[in-house]
Amino acid sequence: MVSGHLKEIKKQKIGFLVAVLIGTIFCFSGIFLDNLKMFIAGCIIAIPPIIFAIFTFNKDWRKYFVIALIIGCLALFNTLILANTIKIIWGRVRFYDVLKLGDTAFTPWYLPNGPSIEHTSFPSGHTTMAFIFLPLLIIVKEADWKKLLKISVSILILAWGIFIAITRVIYGAHYLSDVLFASGFTVLFSILLYKFLYLKKDIIEKMLGL
């Protein structure tokens, strides 16, 4: 989104390269520091842009500006602001902390415990980040590809979000309810952005001179 509005195709790739570089740094840092959370964050940052670039690298990315705008809105409002705000307000103890503190520390997802910076299980921020790439399904739908390729890429996009959600549960950082709420809310937010932004992309592109 940062450089996708530029006319020169090569310059449009600057944002992509920066994202991949940042994601790679996070991945290697996670490996060397034995920090799974950091490694997963790096994968979330780097892998989806790489997959996107594989199919569109030589194309004019200005046609995808509104899609990038939607993804940016999901990352900013759905993940960074909303999810993190709920986390602090809810104060839900993570599963691996319940194992240390005892069963009395557990609370159902629908009961907020009050503000907490230490206990931030609900909802799963990593899951919201993994599912913010759902708008790429719009590109797949409109692409002039064979049906088998469309189905394969669609499954890959959905599988990515599901994979991250499952790993967070297996790791013990979240309960199933945490990742289900995060994914469901992200899907809902994506639909709203599709309705109010993508369906009006002609107006937005005209305003921006794309």
pLDDT at 50: 82
> So where are the chain's domains?
63-208
pLDDT at 107: 92
pLDDT at 7: 64
pLDDT at 5: 56
pLDDT at 9: 67
Label residue 123 exposed, middle or buried (CB < 10 Å: 0-12, 13-18, 19+): buried
pLDDT at 186: 95
For residues 48 and 160, the answer to whether their CB atoms sit within 8 Å is yes
Residues of the chain with pLDDT under 50: 1-2, 4
pLDDT at 6: 59
